[in-house]
Structure 1
Amino acid sequence: MRVSDLRMGFVERLRDHLLESGYTIDGVRERLGDTAAAALSREELVPALRATTGGDPLAVLIRLFWLGASVPEVPPAVRDSGLVSLVDGAYRSTVHLQPWESDHYVVSDRKVRPGDPALRTDHVVGAGGASGNLAQLVTRRPVESALDLGTGCGVQALHLAGRASRTVATDVNPRAVELAELSWRLSGVHGVEGRVGSMFSPVSDERFDLVVSNPPFVISPGGRLTYRESGEEGDGFCRELVRQAARHLNPGGQAHFLANWMHVNGDDWRDRVGGWLAETGCDGWVVQRDVQDVAEYVELWLRDAAEQGTAAYAEHYDRWLGWFEAQKVEAVGFGWITMRNSGSLDPVVRIEQMTQQVELPVGDYVDDVLDAIAVAHRTLDLDSARLVLVDGVLDERIGLPGAEDPSRIVLRQTRGLRRSADVGTVEAALAGVCDGELAVGPLLNVIAELVGGDRVHADQLRPLIAEGYFTLA
């Protein structure tokens, strides 16, 4: 099936039938119920099959396009779509077609489940957890132009549809671009152009206001699946993605990537990833959200390809671990990388580990996070600056009952990234009185006299500004 071979009328008829039948996120959830939906998240199909036995239009669509089951009859809009085949008197979908947000649809290859044949090398995976994580990270500000690099099934371009006037979506896999185009057409989304090619080659001379990528970041010994493995050595693809992104960003433009990076014995992962950003000229923010030891990592991606229980499982597992050992890799980090072309001759990069739950979507306030990092780094004279406490910051004091002074004071954010920071009595007192009326230097002098102890220099507040506890008035 080639999307270009599908006449627009057939696509429009199929979309109308999907919507009229209630094949939407809410419609599917309501039809399946909590128990079947929870079982489906564990790849257990029986409860969902029991919930869709009626033969009505919605039941047929769920069985056909979501569960991958055969059905005896389909309506003309489905039969003529080119997305089903007739085998032994029953209809079977050739794709996985799932409802998405805002009455959108995502088309990919059929979901792989234990016992299925090995994946084809150009398999196109559907929207999953990583897709959702990236969508939550991307800035919500409207842009004129956007690039979705490694579009896969096209889901990120759908998220950008309401915010970008024009989007270019690329993938090294021609089948991915074909299915992504069908996703956009079925979703009624216009203004997206699909192109085939690796990395930035399809847009070699172009710049964008926004670049997003859920790249083939899996670190493996020469993997064969294009949707997750690039063939580059180690984490080299993510490194080159970061290094090349700057030349494709307009002034003020942002890039948001998911990435994996190696934890190599004897090296600090922060130095490794920081080195990727060092010569880009962009401000950068790197967050490590999870770390897996090499065995956990290999098991995760063997499960992803439904290799558990196959004859080759142990061989692939052992070869992968041996490759990690040869590279002196002890663990793999997963997280996000954000860049902004600030135009500064003094770019700043912040690298941190963050395992706490954060307020979603991060894209609602990621611009404020980048601003805070830049302000903390570039404000030359903090003594004369006027600060205010950011909304949602609490002062928590911990100590023995009856003690005159707390043993620990914590500033805790109840919104945004929900960070917490141990502070001294001077910083805590400043948090209680700074309202933007007086400059920081004089305030710190008065507080030092009242609480005693050494005076805190204004420059010592830079980490608290960078982390969003204080901001300039």
Structure 2
Amino acid sequence: MNDLLGRLRGLLLDTGYTIDGVRERLGDVAATALSREETIPALRATADGDPLATLIRLWWLGAPVEARDVPAGLPVEELAAAGLVTVEGGRVTSAVHLQPWETDGSGGSGGSGGVEGSGGSGGYVVSDRKVRPGDPALRPDHVVGAGGASANLAQLASRRPVGRALDIGTGCGVQVLHLRGRAEEITATDVNPRALELARLSWALSGITGVDARQGSLFDPVEDDRFDLIVSNPPFVISPAGRFTYRESGFHADDFCRDLVRRAPRHLAPGGTCHLLANWLHVDGEDWRDRVGGWLAGTGCDGWVVQRDVQDPAEYVELWLRDAAEQGTPRHRELYDDWLGWFEAEGVTGIGFGWITLHDSGSLDPVVRVEEYGRPVELPVGGYVDEVLGAIATAHRLTDAELLGSRLVVAEGVLEERIGPPGAEDPARIVLRQTSGLRRGAAVGTVEAALAGVCDGDYPLDPLLAAIAELTGEDHDDLRTKAPAALRPLIAEGFFHISTG
């Protein structure tokens, strides 16, 4: 099998079946239409039957191709014997979905079905065929391909090199492609044996060897192991019943994500980090921040939770019914009504989606930050996530006296906006904005704005406050009392950092 997959990989590369090659062959209109699960433009664009067009129709679009159009060197008989294609009546049909995937700094490509990204290295991801409206119902052990959530997790994970890495719920194996070259040892787990079967095909086609693949739920397959980096795109979908293993755990409500968070720390090596995606409930009479923050409380780890999106129950149900191509089917109304009724009984007002990061800093005073942030950010977040965690921890642990004695530096790329009526002597509002990283904005007072103009690491904060007090006529002691509370959030959010020089 490995020899077969090696030859197939060579053919795919030689034919140009890569992200760039597919996008160029399809053109922008057809490639963008695929992101909306509209295949007709792509089918029209690949009707000529050239080798690349044939591969796109066969592996990506799932359309049968004439055997006479199959590129020379494609071992159809061997692929059929391996269960990857079927051959009937002079036509070849794929039994799996095989997509190129990019693993450079862009964090992956493909979305829910489109073709995105350019350049970079990567490999190939093998999954079950894409389900589209009118297709047969999904099998319970369906293995979904790599998409938007896969790319989101890859964007989030820290880029620093590590010894041992763990991918929980590996699915089609896409996160392992991102971990290659970053981790010396990689372990991947999944509760679904079919997922591990297809993941092994993904790794072989991508030239990856030595992955320790284990079957089981949560951390059960690695009960006695510790890792420097843990990543997980888990089955986080919240529903009344676990019908599909790739998206639903069968746990009640959001308990699976809760348990994943609570069990992760015991499998982190000292200094280790865990990144995962999660859904959580917004329940009537409860602050979602308290709910999710409670998952991290008592873990002994620093934590960062970011809600990137929230949907009302109807939007959420519609999303996942579309995901399984169940809209318009005979069971659509029943499934929709039952799901909404279950949410109503649970008091659910919304469902949040976002990132959760845990870091075993070794501190006896761990800090957890829970926030909502939906604005665009610089990608990949993993390129600076360690600095984000460090800033949150520093702001939390510095005493007022230590802060006053620190030499602050305004972060690179921070800009100041002054907003007010034309000709006004003083602005009505001053905003500091980041031009990189999380690209946050923060409304500040005149003292913080003045510090942003002078903090270059040369002088401790206290004498700078004394100078500002002298210039403005304010009381120095009053500024010394108020400044730590005003500056601590700005340090936590990366507008200032402490000079170590």
TM-score (norm 2): 0.92
Aligned to 2:78: 80
C-alpha deviation, 1:76, in angstroms: 4.1
Aligned to 2:49: 55
Aligned to 1:415: 436
Distance 1:449-1:180 versus aligned 2 partners, 3 A rule? same
1:210 aligned partner, one-letter code:
L
Please, which runs of 5 or more residues in structure 1 have no aligned partner? Answer: 1-6
Query: Which residue of 136, 144, 168 corresponds with 2:155?
Result: 136
Please, which runs of 5 or more residues in structure 2 have no aligned partner? Answer: 103-120
Return the alpha-carbon distance in structure 2 between the equivalents of residues 308 and 452 of structure 1.
Answer: 67
1:227 aligns with 2:246: yes
Aligned to 1:33: 27
Aligned to 1:321: 340
Of 242-251 and 11-20, the range deviating more from structure 2: 11-20
C-alpha deviation, 1:450, in angstroms: 1.8
1:46 aligned partner, one-letter code:
I
Aligned to 1:146: 165
Return the alpha-carbon distance in structure 2 between the equivalents of residues 403 and 72 of structure 1.
Answer: 74
1:113 aligns with 2:126: no
Aligned to 1:302: 321
1:89 aligned partner, one-letter code:
G
Aligned to 2:487: 461
Query: Which residue of 317, 324, 335 corresponds with 2:354?
Result: 335
C-alpha deviation, 1:191, in angstroms: 2.9
Query: Which residue of 165, 175, 197 corresponds with 1:178?
Result: 197
Return the alpha-carbon distance in structure 2 between the equivalents of residues 236 and 358 of structure 1.
Answer: 29
Return the alpha-carbon distance in structure 2 between the equivalents of residues 362 and 98 of structure 1.
Answer: 24
CA contact (8 A) 1:209 1:252 kept: yes
CA contact (8 A) 1:36 1:47 kept: yes
Aligned to 1:3: none
CA contact (8 A) 1:124 1:175 kept: yes
Query: Which residue of 417, 420, 423 corresponds with 1:402?
Result: 423
CA contact (8 A) 2:304 2:356 kept: yes
Aligned to 1:89: 90
Query: Which residue of 396, 399, 403 corresponds with 1:382?
Result: 403
C-alpha deviation, 1:22, in angstroms: 1.0
Aligned to 1:267: 286
Return the alpha-carbon distance in structure 1 between the equivalents of residues 356 and 74 of structure 2.
Answer: 46
TM-score (norm 1): 0.97
Of 371-380 and 317-326, the range deviating more from structure 2: 371-380
Aligned to 2:118: none
Residues 29-49 of structure 1 show CA distances to partners (whole Å, capped at 9, x for unaligned) of 111111111122221212211
Aligned to 2:310: 291
Report matched runs for 1:122-271 at 5 Å: 122-271=141-290
Return the alpha-carbon distance in structure 2 between the equivalents of residues 352 and 76 of structure 1.
Answer: 51
| Percent of residue pairs identical | 70
Return the alpha-carbon distance in structure 1 between the equivalents of residues 247 and 95 of structure 2.
Answer: 21
Return the alpha-carbon distance in structure 1 between the equivalents of residues 448 and 2 of structure 2.
Answer: 63
C-alpha deviation, 1:423, in angstroms: 0.7
C-alpha deviation, 1:103, in angstroms: 4.3
CA contact (8 A) 2:122 2:177 kept: no
C-alpha deviation, 1:458, in angstroms: 2.5
Return the alpha-carbon distance in structure 1 between the equivalents of residues 90 and 425 of structure 2.
Answer: 82
Aligned to 1:351: 370
Residues 45-98 of structure 1 show CA distances to partners (whole Å, capped at 9, x for unaligned) of 122112212222212111111010111213542431221111343111000000
1:156 aligned partner, one-letter code:
Q
Return the alpha-carbon distance in structure 2 between the equivalents of residues 263 and 214 of structure 1.
Answer: 21
CA contact (8 A) 1:426 1:448 kept: no
Return the alpha-carbon distance in structure 1 between the equivalents of residues 286 and 76 of structure 2.
Answer: 55
Return the alpha-carbon distance in structure 2 between the equivalents of residues 136 and 309 of structure 1.
Answer: 34
Question: How many residues were matched structurally?
Answer: 467
CA contact (8 A) 2:226 2:266 kept: yes
Give the 3-state SS of the residue equivalent to 2:30 in structure 1.
helix
Return the alpha-carbon distance in structure 1 between the equivalents of residues 361 and 122 of structure 2.
Answer: 36
Give the 3-state SS of the residue equivalent to 1:275 in structure 2.
helix
C-alpha deviation, 1:20, in angstroms: 1.2
Aligned to 1:424: 445
CA contact (8 A) 1:28 1:62 kept: yes
Aligned to 2:464: 443
1:317 aligned partner, one-letter code:
Y
Of 190-199 and 414-423, the range deviating more from structure 2: 190-199
C-alpha deviation, 1:443, in angstroms: 1.3
1:391 aligns with 2:412: yes
Return the alpha-carbon distance in structure 2 between the equivalents of residues 191 and 251 of structure 1.
Answer: 24
C-alpha deviation, 1:240, in angstroms: 0.4
Of 100-109 and 207-216, the range deviating more from structure 2: 100-109
2:432 aligned partner, one-letter code:
L
Return the alpha-carbon distance in structure 2 between the equivalents of residues 163 and 356 of structure 1.
Answer: 28
C-alpha deviation, 1:449, in angstroms: 2.9
Q: Over aligned residue pairs, what C-alpha RMSD do you find?
A: 1.1
C-alpha deviation, 1:192, in angstroms: 1.5
CA contact (8 A) 1:17 1:77 kept: no
1:37 aligned partner, one-letter code:
A
Return the alpha-carbon distance in structure 1 between the equivalents of residues 424 and 342 of structure 2.
Answer: 56
1:249 aligned partner, one-letter code:
L
2:21 aligned partner, one-letter code:
G
CA contact (8 A) 1:425 1:451 kept: no
1:196 aligned partner, one-letter code:
Q
Return the alpha-carbon distance in structure 2 between the equivalents of residues 304 and 147 of structure 1.
Answer: 27
Of 309-318 and 374-383, the range deviating more from structure 2: 374-383
